[in-house]
Amino acid sequence: MDRAFQLAELGKPYIRSNPAVGCVIIHKDTIIGEGYHKEFGGPHAEIHAISSVQSVDMDKLKEATFYV
């Protein structure tokens, strides 16, 4: 969860009135994806996190936990 907060801080200068949000995707104690809300009106942190997952790990998403 701490990593999600760290990621959220990265977006603060760019999101204007939107909340700062970070997302970390964990599968069996391993981070397989992460992202944050990068710009006002842009994709949410969860979308960036899913997009960051390597193709070899995509099948793990159904068993993963998202921390937002």
Q: Is 34 a catalytic residue?
A: no
CATH of span 2-67: 3.40.140.10
d(CA 22, CA 44): 9
pLDDT tens, residue by residue, 10-53: 999 999 888 999 999 999 999 999 999 999 999 999 999 999 99
Domain layout of the chain by residue ranges = 2-67
Check if the beta carbon of residue 60 is closer than 8 Å to that of residue 49.
no
Does this model's pTM top 0.85?
A: yes
Q: How confident is the model at residue 4 (pLDDT cuts 50, 70, 90)?
A: very high
d(CA 4, CA 23): 5
9, 34, 39, 46: which is the annotated catalytic residue?
46
